[in-house]
Amino acid sequence: MSRESIEKALARATDTKACVIGEGSLAEVPALFKEHFSCAGSAVVVCDPRTRKAAGERVEALLSDAGLRVSEYVLEPGGATFHADYRYVEEVREAIRKSLDGKSAGEVVPVAVGSGVINDLVKLASGELGLPYMVCATAASVDGYSSFGAAIRSPEGAKQTYSCPAPKVIVADFEVMRTAPKWMAASGFADLMAKVPAGADWILAYELGASEWHDSSWHTVQDGLKEAIGNPEGVASMETEPLTRFVEGLMLGGFAMQDMQSSRPASGAEHLFSHLLEMRDHTFKGDIVPHGIQVGVFTLFMSRVYEKMLAYDYSNLDVEACLRNWKTLEEQERIGAEVFAGTKFPELGVKTVRAKYVDADTMRKRLESFKARWPEIKARLEGQLVPSVEIERSLKVVGAPVSPDEIGSTVAASLADARRTIFMRDRYMALDFLALTGQLDDFAERSFVA
């Protein structure tokens, strides 16, 4: 992985024109602002009290010294914890509108100074106003800086990706990132490691004829992935070289999503476990568990699931037995409705079933083809995966949890969620396949045991 990978990703990006990563890169903010927002004379810096201290005050000073008019909006100025809820999008949107104050849209640029939550809030608020924006990343905690769309909890309580453009300019200063709490880099590292089983889910779905393929997005996120996660000790100590590879890996994951206009290249079943917890307002010791921290636990789980799949010979798959598990559309809709009955999003399971459903003849053809090609599919999956023992070791090195109890959940609840994930998104995964083969409960239960 190198700067060349970022440049190639930028060439395919739909929205982002510059991404500067490294030591002291905050100093480049004024020049980047003037180059990429040449018609703008004003900036509105959006931050929170912590990120204001970490970088916001300096960003404001740099822009002001460069002759720009700068206003500021501080979310939860009293220091209260906040999350990516749509009500904050509305708050940020109104703050940006006030900063316009009769100016034309091209004259004002929102500048997000923060990590995943602030970036997503400003991303969606700017998108709704039709404004390009800049982000100054304050932590190596997410891959969403460079991605299309914003992961926001809707007014109804469902975590969803809202469609909106990625930032036009991204600045990631290592000096700032080193001041962030250690758990933030652990969260980002776990989220990056999730691209390993997420990639396996994409391979499996494609080989079963249940997903499209997007070659440039695949290579953007996967080509340097194992190098990016290969030195957890260096990431934990925030050394420049491993930190560079790690942060580039996060940005490339987002660029892959921007390229494909989908989160498919960067997330699989492991992310859906996290979304389920978030949709239930899950907390541990009074706090919401960060997304990447949750994802890391289920990245390890999915890696173990895949190891059990690779130990099984699907050349002997009983296709007719699988088809007996493949229920009619009406039966699947009923099950999908039951999964989310009594929640704020009762239609989610039914919509997912309808999006994924194929008739029995189509499923038979998929399974027969899969069975015949299992040796080559297995080889492709083996090339993608990292041993679960290595994933577990790396997560522990960076300080990320590896079991449900470490994030305030239980194995029993997680096993129940393994079936619920199937009804979460119109995205085919290993868990869909195992439900069809009748192996889901057994493989899942044994995958929560080291």
- pLDDT, tens digit (0-9, with 9 covering 90-100), for 222-272: 999 999 999 999 999 999 999 999 999 999 999 999 999 999 999 999 999
Q: What residues have CB less than 8 Å from 32, skipping those under 6 apart?
A: 18, 20, 134, 169, 171
The answer to whether position 22 is within a domain reads: yes
pLDDT of residue 450: 57
The torsion region of residue 285 among left (phi > 0), alpha (psi -120 to 50) and beta comes to left
The tens digit of pLDDT for each residue in 98-151 reads: 998 878 878 999 999 999 999 999 999 999 999 999 999 999 999 999 999 998
Short-list 422, 437, 434, 447, CA closest to 269: 422
Residue that is written with structure tokens 């982000």 in the block: 135
Structure tokens at 269: 């079943």
* Helix pair 440-447, 411-420: axis angle to 10 deg: 140
pLDDT of residue 1: 47
Determine the residue type at 57.
Answer: E
The answer to whether position 243 is within a domain reads: no
* Helix pair 240-260, 182-193: axis angle to 10 deg: 50
Beta strands in 93-221 (DSSP E): 108-114, 134-137, 150-153, 159-162, 169-173
For residue 162, what pLDDT band results from cuts at 50, 70 and 90?
very high
**What's the rounded mean pLDDT across residues 67-76?**
97
Scored b (16 or more CB within 10 A) or e, 104-117 reads: eeeebbbbbbbbbb
| Same-domain pairing of 329 and 424 | yes
pLDDT at 83 over 80: yes
The answer to whether position 20 is within a domain reads: yes
| CA neighbours closer than 13 Å in the CB half-sphere of residue 290 | 23
Percentage of residues in the chain with pLDDT exceeding 70? 99
Short-list 22, 356, 369, 34, CA closest to 169: 34
For residue 368, what pLDDT band results from cuts at 50, 70 and 90?
very high
For residue 153, what pLDDT band results from cuts at 50, 70 and 90?
confident
**What DSSP element (H or E) covers 288?**
strand 287-288
Residue at a domain's end among 160, 180, 200? 180
pLDDT at 310 over 80: yes
Q: What residues have CB less than 8 Å from 321, skipping those under 6 apart?
A: 438
Q: Identify the weakest region by mean pLDDT among 152-156, 283-287, 378-382, 399-403.
A: 152-156
| Same-domain pairing of 94 and 196 | no
At 283, is the secondary structure helix, strand, or coil? strand
| Same-domain pairing of 441 and 296 | yes
**What's the rounded mean pLDDT across residues 57-81?**
96
For residue 169, what pLDDT band results from cuts at 50, 70 and 90?
very high
Residue that is written with structure tokens 């996290």 in the block: 274
Structure tokens at 230: 């290969």
| Same-domain pairing of 175 and 195 | no
Q: How far apart are CA 115 and CA 180, in angstroms?
A: 10
At 112, is the secondary structure helix, strand, or coil? strand
| Same-domain pairing of 275 and 424 | yes
Return the CA Rg of the chain: 22
Number of domains in the chain: 2
For residue 161, what pLDDT band results from cuts at 50, 70 and 90?
confident
Residue that is written with structure tokens 């691209």 in the block: 195
| Same-domain pairing of 156 and 32 | yes
Structure tokens at 304: 């173990």
The answer to whether position 238 is within a domain reads: no
Domain membership of residue 175 as a residue range: 3-180
| Same-domain pairing of 295 and 429 | yes
pLDDT of residue 104: 81
| Same-domain pairing of 122 and 196 | no
pLDDT at 435 over 70: yes
Percentage of residues in the chain with pLDDT exceeding 90? 90
pLDDT of residue 111: 98
The tens digit of pLDDT for each residue in 218-227 reads: 999 999 999 9
List phi, psi (to 5°) of 387: -55, 140
**What's the rounded mean pLDDT across residues 197-216?**
97
Residue at a domain's end among 180, 200, 227? 180
The answer to whether position 226 is within a domain reads: no
Structure tokens at 206: 């494609």
| Same-domain pairing of 92 and 203 | no
pLDDT of residue 2: 61
Q: What count of other Cβ atoms lies within 10 Å of the Cβ of residue 313?
A: 11
pTM of this prediction?
A: 0.94
**What's the rounded mean pLDDT across residues 38-67?**
97
pLDDT of residue 403: 97
Quote the mean pLDDT of the chain. Answer: 95
The answer to whether position 228 is within a domain reads: no
Residue at a domain's end among 180, 198, 227? 180
Residue that is written with structure tokens 């907390």 in the block: 283
Domain CATH number, residue 170: 3.40.50.1970
Domain CATH number, residue 385: 1.20.1090
Asked whether 270 and 197 are in contact (CB, 8 A), the reply is: yes
Q: What residues have CB less than 8 Å from 320, skipping those under 6 apart?
A: none
The answer to whether position 292 is within a domain reads: yes
| Same-domain pairing of 107 and 126 | yes
Residue that is written with structure tokens 């009804």 in the block: 423
At 59, is the secondary structure helix, strand, or coil? helix
| Same-domain pairing of 194 and 176 | no
| Same-domain pairing of 370 and 268 | yes
The answer to whether position 382 is within a domain reads: yes
Structure tokens at 210: 């249940």
Q: How far apart are CA 267 and CA 248, in angstroms?
A: 17
